[in-house]
Amino acid sequence: MKFNMHSRGSIAIGLKVNALVEPMGIDTREPMLSWHMSNCARGAEQYAYRVQVATSIIALRHSEPDMWDTDMIREPSQCVKYAGAPLQSATRYYWRIRVWDHRGVSSAWSDPVMFETAMFDEDEWHAKWIRMPADMRAKNPTTVPVFRKELLMVRRARWAAMYISGLGYQEVYINGVKVGESLLDPCNGNHDKTIYYTTYDVSDAFRAGRNCITGMVGQGWESGEPAFIMKLHIIYSNDSEEIFSTDETWDCRPSHIISSSIYQGEEADRRIEDNEWYQPVLHISEEWEKAETVEVPGRLVARTQPAIECIETIAPKLITQPQPGLWLFDFGQNIAGRCKLRVDCQGGTKLLMKHSELLNYDGTICTDNLRTAAATDTYTCRGHGVEEWEPRFTYHGFRYVQIENFEGTPTQRTLTAQVIHTRLEPKGYFSCSDPLLNKIYANSIWGYRDNYHSIPTDCPQRDERMGWLADAHIAADMAMHNFDMEAPFSKYLDDIAETMNADGALPDTVPTYHGTQPGDIMWTIAYHIIAWDLYRHTGHVHILEKHYDKLRLHVMSLITRYDNYNLPECKYGDWIALEKTPKDFINHCALLQMVNLQKKISSAVKNEGDVAFFSEWSETIGKNINSLHYNINRCMYANGSELSYALPIMLNIVPEGDYVRLEKNFIRQINRVREGHLSTGFVGTKPLFESLMKIGELDLALSMVTDVNYPSWGYQVAMGASTIWELWNYATGNDMNSHNHPAQGFIASWLMQTIGGIRLDEETAGWEHFTIKPHLWGNLTNAESIVETAKGRVSCKWEMLDKCYPDKKLRGMNITVQIPIGSTASVYIPKYGRRRPEIKLDGKRAYRSGRVMASQKDIISGCDSGNYVCLELTNGTYEFEVI
Ligand code: BGC
């Protein structure tokens, strides 16, 4: 091939380092660099790439990269591990890439993007953990401490980075200005082992002369005393360097935050706050004492995922006064976050803000389902004019807020809701002509966002908000369809791996606050499901390689116990199901699912010995399930519940000759016994819908989704839901009845796969090959689904046309698909009632009577396939018309 250096064609875009855009503060010596190609001409490919890394943009521009130059690598791969000169701590690097396409045409260089390293070794910190001195703490047992230190800077900084962490949520201010956008930092994890820190670029935050750094630490997820650590690394304009860090010379005093708790809320008395906390002063007052240093067990590790931030602000939709002295704000959406208060009240006025998801009949808030969480923020006004306040170290799950003790009439600006969660980058979209389906999709997305607080949580409102592993894996694939989850889930896989004990047992919750270890298999299977799904979505085998030994150890720990008739207890069964399914059966199916995943993972990392080993175990466990739980005469599993059919279908263990009869029994169970409703619970509903997709019963499944009668997602919408619930019924009591539980929101990606038609292949990873097969359901007239995949945009948009063909009986249809460079797809075009449809591409005949027209070079092959015409396509954008 001849190489042409002219810059035309596709370019590399979406450059990431460790799956993050321009990350500040990575601590891996060999980061992964990745990119994808801009969508371009049909059939284009990435034939080769060249990466350059340098310590300055100028070096890159002069093509003199001082760190790494790969030269031309003839590979289609879109991810490479850094292998240049050793990276240094606390250094900014820049990189760029150019690619060559299938014709040997080189792209332009991408714009340079940066990444900055933090500290590779913990002993580079040179900082001490500090906390409130013991005597002060004894007098102020719940108060948030404020730490303060002045610095004299002889000249301006050329570059400055601040590394911050806390045991408990912390915030830091430089001369009164908050450092960074992140909230509720540090990111949650297994604090006794790993404490994440955040790196900020503070190069422009200081002035020459005296400066004041202020730190505050609330309770967060820590049960112990709040502690704080910070290191500031400065390079001055004359290239001299200086380090400032926390130690016993810092001053400390109780802040105006009298208490702060994730569940209970925050109480602040603004009369206490003083300017001297934030600004340099000549003499500080006597309330300050020197901070105490403390040893902390966890290892400091750089945060490896996006921060928690305020994502959007919502104004109240309705303000009412259900009772004298009570004002009720309805934000119209169940969110995770808190409120910003803007008032002009007399000094000493104590305002109470109580949060809830639900209302009582009299229009006041109903907090019964929060259990012991008070979810109340209290603010005592300073007086003298308008004051704004927002709690710092708590968040709530709510749609309604009730203010008490407010004098006068509130306005739209009195309270605004701040939506706060991990900044997940959106990458999915679904919409169709049915508003109910759109609302179900939107509720799922809201629920997922609300529940990502450094880790996937079960709910954002009651006294729980934990990393229950089943909740994490049930919605994992839907999350990967709709958000860029590579960094967040890579971090969560690390968190899970860290909790594994020496025998390979995993707990039910990560970080572990509840449950047992070993946990329920349907919960601990999260490790395998998330690792496998992440690999399928990204194609990044290093994720599996990194976790391989621990994944194997976990499944082996269960196989050994299985062999000894001692599997961990199936504690939760099909939690919250309306129709019970025997726990023993669920447990064995969960183990089989995990063994099957381990087999696939072994194959992906090319461990053939393990593939054979786990194939044998898969067969053994499958046979045992059939001999223990299969009733041959009645052609049914376990107790014949919906889940009893769904699991074996999903796991492919139904005896060959029985399939047709078993499917019939399954459908009969749904239609006759359950009257067309789902009856499954927490872990059973996803297998139910997966098995219905597998056997092609999509119309039935969709009627179960959209039924506005209990139980279904449609019922939730009919009852006014703006998120997905924990229970199928509308419950309000003091029990397990969260109205914002993201797990059953898995249905969002099920809709993208069925009506939207975009289906990731089981056999290939990273969207190398996928299927587009939209299901035209009921009276739908259009639908659109988009996934920004690891290879680029995949989309499918279909719409019925007003024109009718042929003989004016059947409506025509347009279908447009996008296939990114590096992918091929099997595109199933609905015949929509026609026996022999004609398909046009770009207005020209492309397929007719089972044949692809010879002139259509971009269509690899095509054939009739039941109600569809299946075309094999290479990348590109294709607009088809079915006539
Ligand atoms: C959580 C669930 C979780 C369960 C265990 C609940 O309290 O909210 O989502 O998976 O406990 O069954």
Cβ atoms of residues 452 and 397 within 8 Å = no
**Which atom, in ligand 1's list, is nearest to the CA of 468?**
10
**Ligand 1 centroid vs 698 CA: distance in angstroms?**
29
The C-alpha atoms of residue 621 and residue 282 are separated, in whole angstroms, by 75
d(Cα 226, Cα 433) in Å, to the nearest integer? 52
pLDDT of residue 807: 67
pLDDT at 673: 86
Q: How far is the CA of 582 from the centre of ligand 1 (A)?
A: 19
pLDDT tens digits, one per residue of 786-818 = 999 999 999 999 999 887 776 667 788 999 999
Q: Which of 471, 509, 570, 723 to mutate to test the pocket of ligand 1 (most atoms within 8 A of CB)?
A: 471
Pocket test for ligand 1, best of 466, 575, 726 (most atoms within 8 A of CB): 575
**Which atom from ligand 1 is nearest to the alpha carbon of 523?**
10
Q: How many residues does the chain have?
A: 883
Is 455 within 8 Å of 495 (Cβ atoms)?
Answer: yes
Distance CA 214, CA 227 (A): 14
- CB 846 within 8 Å of CB 883: no
Residue with tokens 């046009």: 840
Residues 473, 456: Cα–Cα separation, whole Å? 9
Residue type, 745: G
Tell how strand 851-852 and strand 792-805 pair up. Answer: unpaired
DSSP one-letter string for 272-306: S--GGGTS--SS--TT-EEPEEE---SEEEE--SP
Distance 514 CA to ligand 1 centre (A): 9
In whole angstroms, what separates CA 53 from the centre of its chain?
Answer: 30
Largest Cα–Cα separation, the chain? 92
Examine residue 460 and say whether the peptide bond preceding it is cis (omega within 30 degrees of 0): no
Q: What is residue 883's predicted lDDT score, i.e. its pLDDT?
A: 85
CA–CA separation, 684 and 746 (whole Å): 12
Which residue ranges in the chain fall short of pLDDT 50? 1-7
**Quick count: other Cβ atoms within 10 Å of Cβ 57?**
15
Q: Which distant-in-sequence residues (6+ apart) come within 8 Å of 635 by Cβ?
A: 658, 661, 662, 665
> ω into residue 568 within 30 of 0, thus cis?
no
For the entire predicted model, the pTM comes to: 0.96
How many H-runs (helices) and E-runs (strands) does the chain carry?
Answer: 17, 50
Residue 1, pLDDT score: 41
Pick from 632, 633, 630: nearest CA to 647: 630
Amino acid in the structure at residue 364 = T
Nearest CA to ligand 1 atom 11: 468
C-alpha of residue 526 to centroid of ligand 1, in Å: 14
Q: With contact defined as beta carbons under 8 Å apart, do 704 and 712 qualify?
A: yes
What residue's CA is closest to ligand 1, atom 1?
458
Cα(451) to centroid of ligand 1, in Å? 13
Give the binding-site residues of ligand 1, using a 6 Å CB cut-off.
458-459, 464, 468, 470-471, 572, 575, 736, 741
Q: How far is the CA of 285 from the centre of ligand 1 (A)?
A: 49
- pLDDT at site 8: 52
Give me the helix-helix angle, 698-706 and 685-694, nearest 10°. Answer: 150
How many A from CA of 468 to the centre of ligand 1? 6
* Mutational test site, ligand 1, from 370, 451, 458, 739, max ligand atoms within 8 Å of CB: 458
| Sequential DSSP letters for 625-685 | HHHHHEETTTTEETT--HHHHHHHHHHT-S-GGGHHHHHHHHHHIIIIISTT-----TTTH
Compute how many other C-beta atoms are within 10 angstroms of the C-beta atom of residue 536: 21
pLDDT computed for residue 574 by the predictor: 96
Q: Which residues of 662-693 are buried (b: 16+ CB within 10 A; e: fewer)?
A: bbebbeebbeeebeebbbbbbbbbbbbbbbbb
- Ligand 1 centroid to Cα of residue 575, in Å, is 8
